[in-house]
Amino acid sequence: MTDLALTASLVLSKGARARMGADRIALLEAVRDHGSITQAARAVGLSYKAAWDAIQVLNNLFERPLTTAQPGGRGGGAAAVTAEGLAVIRAFHLVEAELAHTLAVLEQKLADPAGPPLNSMFWSLAMKTSARNALRGVVDRVTDGAVNAEVTLTVAPGVEITAVITRQSVADLDLKPGRAAIALIKSSFIILAPADEALRTSARNRLVGTVGRVENGAVNSEITLDLDAGKTLTATVTLESARAMELKVGTPLAALIKASHVILAVE
Protein backbone atom coordinates (compact mmCIF):
# COMPACT_ATOMS: atom_id res chain seq x y z
CA MET A 1 0.00 0.00 0.00
CA THR A 2 1.37 3.42 -0.95
CA ASP A 3 1.99 6.08 1.64
CA LEU A 4 -0.45 8.91 2.03
CA ALA A 5 0.29 12.03 -0.01
CA LEU A 6 -0.31 15.49 1.42
CA THR A 7 -2.93 17.59 -0.34
CA ALA A 8 -4.45 20.96 0.53
CA SER A 9 -7.84 22.53 -0.15
CA LEU A 10 -7.96 26.24 -0.81
CA VAL A 11 -11.13 27.97 0.39
CA LEU A 12 -11.84 31.69 0.19
CA SER A 13 -14.50 33.07 2.49
CA LYS A 14 -16.29 36.26 3.38
CA GLY A 15 -18.51 36.38 6.43
CA ALA A 16 -19.90 33.27 8.06
CA ARG A 17 -21.39 31.53 5.02
CA ALA A 18 -19.93 32.88 1.77
CA ARG A 19 -17.22 30.41 0.75
CA MET A 20 -15.45 29.58 -2.48
CA GLY A 21 -13.38 26.50 -3.14
CA ALA A 22 -12.25 24.37 -6.06
CA ASP A 23 -15.81 23.21 -6.77
CA ARG A 24 -17.04 26.76 -7.39
CA ILE A 25 -13.98 27.62 -9.45
CA ALA A 26 -14.85 24.57 -11.58
CA LEU A 27 -18.39 25.96 -12.00
CA LEU A 28 -16.98 29.34 -12.95
CA GLU A 29 -14.73 27.69 -15.53
CA ALA A 30 -17.68 25.74 -16.91
CA VAL A 31 -19.64 28.99 -17.36
CA ARG A 32 -16.61 30.42 -19.16
CA ASP A 33 -16.35 27.38 -21.44
CA HIS A 34 -20.06 26.82 -22.17
CA GLY A 35 -21.51 30.34 -22.03
CA SER A 36 -24.56 29.07 -20.18
CA ILE A 37 -25.41 28.37 -16.55
CA THR A 38 -27.64 25.48 -17.63
CA GLN A 39 -24.84 23.78 -19.56
CA ALA A 40 -22.27 24.65 -16.89
CA ALA A 41 -24.48 23.05 -14.24
CA ARG A 42 -24.75 19.90 -16.35
CA ALA A 43 -20.98 19.82 -16.86
CA VAL A 44 -20.18 19.90 -13.14
CA GLY A 45 -23.07 17.69 -12.04
CA LEU A 46 -25.28 20.30 -10.35
CA SER A 47 -28.93 21.16 -10.71
CA TYR A 48 -29.69 24.47 -12.39
CA LYS A 49 -30.91 25.95 -9.09
CA ALA A 50 -27.78 24.84 -7.21
CA ALA A 51 -25.56 26.31 -9.92
CA TRP A 52 -27.53 29.56 -10.02
CA ASP A 53 -27.37 29.89 -6.23
CA ALA A 54 -23.61 29.25 -6.29
CA ILE A 55 -23.14 31.89 -8.98
CA GLN A 56 -25.03 34.39 -6.83
CA VAL A 57 -22.78 33.57 -3.87
CA LEU A 58 -19.72 34.13 -6.02
CA ASN A 59 -21.01 37.47 -7.25
CA ASN A 60 -21.76 38.53 -3.69
CA LEU A 61 -18.36 37.42 -2.44
CA PHE A 62 -16.46 39.94 -4.53
CA GLU A 63 -16.75 43.69 -4.99
CA ARG A 64 -17.61 43.26 -8.67
CA PRO A 65 -19.59 40.34 -10.14
CA LEU A 66 -17.65 37.40 -11.53
CA THR A 67 -20.35 36.53 -14.08
CA THR A 68 -23.07 38.15 -16.08
CA ALA A 69 -26.15 36.17 -17.03
CA GLN A 70 -29.54 36.62 -18.61
CA PRO A 71 -32.27 34.05 -17.85
CA GLY A 72 -33.46 32.41 -21.03
CA GLY A 73 -36.35 30.18 -20.01
CA ARG A 74 -36.35 26.44 -20.60
CA GLY A 75 -33.44 26.50 -23.02
CA GLY A 76 -31.23 28.53 -20.73
CA GLY A 77 -29.84 32.00 -21.32
CA ALA A 78 -26.43 33.35 -22.11
CA ALA A 79 -23.84 33.71 -19.39
CA ALA A 80 -20.28 34.95 -19.37
CA VAL A 81 -17.39 35.26 -16.95
CA THR A 82 -16.30 38.84 -16.40
CA ALA A 83 -12.72 40.10 -16.43
CA GLU A 84 -12.88 40.02 -12.64
CA GLY A 85 -13.98 36.38 -12.78
CA LEU A 86 -11.16 35.42 -15.15
CA ALA A 87 -8.69 37.11 -12.81
CA VAL A 88 -10.10 35.15 -9.85
CA ILE A 89 -9.71 31.85 -11.76
CA ARG A 90 -6.09 32.65 -12.58
CA ALA A 91 -5.32 33.77 -9.03
CA PHE A 92 -6.96 30.69 -7.52
CA HIS A 93 -4.89 28.30 -9.64
CA LEU A 94 -1.74 30.30 -8.94
CA VAL A 95 -2.27 29.93 -5.19
CA GLU A 96 -3.07 26.22 -5.67
CA ALA A 97 0.22 25.75 -7.52
CA GLU A 98 2.13 27.52 -4.75
CA LEU A 99 0.38 25.35 -2.14
CA ALA A 100 1.32 22.22 -4.08
CA HIS A 101 4.96 23.35 -4.14
CA THR A 102 4.90 24.13 -0.42
CA LEU A 103 3.36 20.75 0.37
CA ALA A 104 5.98 18.97 -1.73
CA VAL A 105 8.71 20.67 0.32
CA LEU A 106 6.88 19.85 3.56
CA GLU A 107 6.43 16.23 2.50
CA GLN A 108 10.17 15.93 1.91
CA LYS A 109 10.89 17.31 5.36
CA LEU A 110 8.42 14.89 6.95
CA ALA A 111 9.84 11.91 5.05
CA ASP A 112 12.27 11.05 7.83
CA PRO A 113 13.16 7.35 7.58
CA ALA A 114 13.38 7.22 11.37
CA GLY A 115 9.89 8.66 11.82
CA PRO A 116 6.42 7.30 11.12
CA PRO A 117 5.08 7.50 7.54
CA LEU A 118 2.55 10.18 6.66
CA ASN A 119 -0.29 7.69 6.41
CA SER A 120 0.15 6.61 10.02
CA MET A 121 0.42 10.19 11.31
CA PHE A 122 -2.47 11.88 9.56
CA TRP A 123 -4.89 8.98 9.19
CA SER A 124 -4.88 8.64 12.98
CA LEU A 125 -5.80 12.32 13.29
CA ALA A 126 -8.60 12.04 10.77
CA MET A 127 -10.19 8.87 12.08
CA LYS A 128 -13.44 9.23 14.03
CA THR A 129 -14.90 6.47 16.17
CA SER A 130 -17.36 6.08 19.03
CA ALA A 131 -14.94 3.78 20.88
CA ARG A 132 -13.33 5.60 23.81
CA ASN A 133 -10.00 3.80 23.32
CA ALA A 134 -8.08 3.70 20.02
CA LEU A 135 -4.60 2.21 20.34
CA ARG A 136 -2.30 2.10 17.32
CA GLY A 137 0.04 -0.86 17.04
CA VAL A 138 1.58 -3.45 14.76
CA VAL A 139 0.34 -6.99 14.22
CA ASP A 140 2.72 -9.37 15.96
CA ARG A 141 1.05 -12.67 15.12
CA VAL A 142 -2.09 -14.19 13.64
CA THR A 143 -3.31 -17.56 14.89
CA ASP A 144 -5.71 -19.11 12.41
CA GLY A 145 -8.76 -21.15 13.41
CA ALA A 146 -11.59 -22.95 11.65
CA VAL A 147 -13.92 -19.91 11.72
CA ASN A 148 -12.19 -17.20 13.73
CA ALA A 149 -8.62 -16.04 14.07
CA GLU A 150 -6.70 -14.59 16.99
CA VAL A 151 -4.76 -11.43 16.14
CA THR A 152 -2.22 -10.03 18.58
CA LEU A 153 -1.25 -6.39 18.28
CA THR A 154 1.82 -4.85 19.93
CA VAL A 155 0.83 -1.31 20.94
CA ALA A 156 3.96 -0.56 22.98
CA PRO A 157 7.03 -2.50 24.12
CA GLY A 158 5.67 -5.18 26.42
CA VAL A 159 2.03 -4.15 25.84
CA GLU A 160 -0.06 -6.45 23.66
CA ILE A 161 -3.75 -6.56 22.82
CA THR A 162 -5.37 -9.67 21.37
CA ALA A 163 -8.54 -9.64 19.31
CA VAL A 164 -10.66 -12.52 18.04
CA ILE A 165 -12.20 -11.77 14.65
CA THR A 166 -13.45 -13.83 11.74
CA ARG A 167 -11.04 -15.31 9.22
CA GLN A 168 -12.86 -13.31 6.55
CA SER A 169 -12.09 -10.08 8.44
CA VAL A 170 -8.42 -11.07 8.63
CA ALA A 171 -8.42 -11.47 4.85
CA ASP A 172 -10.42 -8.29 4.19
CA LEU A 173 -8.13 -6.20 6.41
CA ASP A 174 -5.00 -7.97 5.11
CA LEU A 175 -3.84 -8.57 8.67
CA LYS A 176 -0.41 -10.14 8.94
CA PRO A 177 2.74 -9.65 11.03
CA GLY A 178 4.15 -6.16 10.53
CA ARG A 179 0.82 -4.66 9.42
CA ALA A 180 -0.17 -1.45 11.22
CA ALA A 181 -3.61 -1.55 12.81
CA ILE A 182 -5.66 0.16 15.50
CA ALA A 183 -7.41 -1.59 18.37
CA LEU A 184 -10.76 -0.02 19.25
CA ILE A 185 -12.17 -0.75 22.70
CA LYS A 186 -15.28 0.72 24.27
CA SER A 187 -14.69 1.95 27.81
CA SER A 188 -17.69 -0.03 29.08
CA PHE A 189 -16.06 -3.27 27.88
CA ILE A 190 -13.13 -2.89 30.30
CA ILE A 191 -13.23 -4.57 33.72
CA LEU A 192 -10.92 -3.17 36.40
CA ALA A 193 -9.30 -5.30 39.09
CA PRO A 194 -6.52 -4.82 41.67
CA ALA A 195 -3.18 -5.35 39.96
CA ASP A 196 -1.85 -7.60 42.71
CA GLU A 197 -4.72 -10.08 42.62
CA ALA A 198 -4.10 -13.25 40.62
CA LEU A 199 -7.58 -13.57 39.19
CA ARG A 200 -8.58 -16.37 36.86
CA THR A 201 -10.93 -14.94 34.26
CA SER A 202 -12.06 -15.65 30.71
CA ALA A 203 -10.73 -12.26 29.56
CA ARG A 204 -7.89 -12.78 27.07
CA ASN A 205 -6.29 -9.37 27.72
CA ARG A 206 -4.83 -8.24 31.04
CA LEU A 207 -3.13 -4.85 30.88
CA VAL A 208 -1.50 -3.50 34.05
CA GLY A 209 -1.04 0.17 34.82
CA THR A 210 -1.72 2.87 37.38
CA VAL A 211 -4.66 5.23 37.69
CA GLY A 212 -3.81 8.53 36.04
CA ARG A 213 -7.19 10.25 36.34
CA VAL A 214 -10.53 9.71 38.05
CA GLU A 215 -13.61 11.61 36.91
CA ASN A 216 -16.74 10.90 38.90
CA GLY A 217 -20.24 11.48 37.59
CA ALA A 218 -23.65 11.07 39.16
CA VAL A 219 -23.83 7.37 38.23
CA ASN A 220 -20.56 6.33 36.59
CA SER A 221 -16.87 7.04 36.99
CA GLU A 222 -14.36 7.34 34.17
CA ILE A 223 -11.01 5.87 35.10
CA THR A 224 -7.93 6.51 32.95
CA LEU A 225 -5.15 3.97 33.33
CA ASP A 226 -1.56 4.90 32.46
CA LEU A 227 0.17 2.03 30.68
CA ASP A 228 3.77 1.80 29.48
CA ALA A 229 5.27 3.98 26.72
CA GLY A 230 2.76 6.81 27.22
CA LYS A 231 -0.28 4.69 26.31
CA THR A 232 -3.52 5.10 28.24
CA LEU A 233 -6.71 3.11 28.59
CA THR A 234 -10.03 4.53 29.79
CA ALA A 235 -12.69 2.46 31.54
CA THR A 236 -16.20 3.34 32.64
CA VAL A 237 -17.39 1.77 35.89
CA THR A 238 -20.21 2.55 38.28
CA LEU A 239 -19.55 5.23 40.86
CA GLU A 240 -20.31 2.67 43.57
CA SER A 241 -17.63 0.33 42.20
CA ALA A 242 -15.07 3.12 42.03
CA ARG A 243 -15.74 4.02 45.64
CA ALA A 244 -15.69 0.41 46.78
CA MET A 245 -12.28 -0.10 45.13
CA GLU A 246 -11.05 3.22 46.60
CA LEU A 247 -9.71 4.25 43.22
CA LYS A 248 -7.43 7.26 43.22
CA VAL A 249 -4.50 8.56 41.19
CA GLY A 250 -1.54 6.22 41.51
CA THR A 251 -3.55 3.10 42.35
CA PRO A 252 -2.15 0.02 40.52
CA LEU A 253 -4.86 -1.67 38.46
CA ALA A 254 -5.32 -4.40 35.89
CA ALA A 255 -7.64 -3.85 32.93
CA LEU A 256 -9.38 -7.03 31.76
CA ILE A 257 -10.71 -7.09 28.20
CA LYS A 258 -12.28 -9.98 26.32
CA ALA A 259 -10.67 -10.59 22.93
CA SER A 260 -14.10 -10.57 21.29
CA HIS A 261 -14.62 -6.99 22.55
CA VAL A 262 -11.62 -5.67 20.61
CA ILE A 263 -12.31 -4.27 17.12
CA LEU A 264 -9.44 -3.89 14.68
CA ALA A 265 -9.22 -1.15 12.06
CA VAL A 266 -6.69 -0.47 9.32
CA GLU A 267 -6.06 2.33 6.87
Domains of the chain plus CATH, in order, are 12-109 (1.10.10.10), 129-138+179-265 (2.40.50.100)
Which 3 state secondary structure label does DSSP give 163?
strand
User: Is residue 193 within 8 Å of 93, Cβ to Cβ?
Assistant: no
Exposure of 125 by Cβ count < 10 A (0-12 exposed, 13-18 middle, 19+ buried)? exposed
Give the strand pairing for 220-226 and 180-185: unpaired
Q: Which residues have C-beta within 8 Å of that of residue 185, sequence separation ≥ 6? A: 131, 132, 133, 135, 161, 233, 257, 261, 262, 263
Query: What is the Cα–Cα distance from 100 to 236, expressed in whole angstroms?
Result: 45
Helices (H) and strands (E) in the chain, counts: 7, 14
The DSSP symbol for 4 reads P
φ/ψ region of 195 (left if φ > 0, alpha if ψ in -120 to 50, else beta) reads alpha
- Residue 18 has a pLDDT of 52
In one-letter notation, the amino acid at residue 249 is V
- Residue 1 has a pLDDT of 42
Nearest partner of 254 among 184, 182, 203, 188, judged by Cα: 203
In sequence order, what are the residues at sequence separation of 6 or more whose Cβ sits closer than 8 angstroms to the Cβ of residue 150? 142, 143, 162, 163, 164, 259
Q: Are 37 and 80 in contact (CB under 8 A)?
A: no
How high is the pLDDT of residue 105? 72
Total-model pTM: 0.58
**Using CA atoms, how far apart are residues 195 and 186, in angstroms rounded to an integer?**
21
Within 8 A by CB and 6+ apart from 258, the residues are 189, 202, 203, 204, 205
Question: What does each of the 267 residues of the chain score in pLDDT, given as a tens digit?
Answer: 445 556 666 676 655 545 678 899 999 999 999 999 999 999 999 998 889 878 877 887 777 889 987 755 555 568 999 999 999 999 988 888 887 777 777 767 666 666 666 556 555 655 666 677 888 889 999 999 888 999 999 998 889 999 999 999 999 999 999 999 989 999 999 999 999 877 778 788 999 999 999 999 999 999 999 988 778 889 999 999 999 999 999 999 999 999 999 999 987
Q: What is the distance between the alpha carbons of residues 165 and 17, in angstroms, rounded to a whole number? A: 45
The whole-number pLDDT of residue 25 equals 92
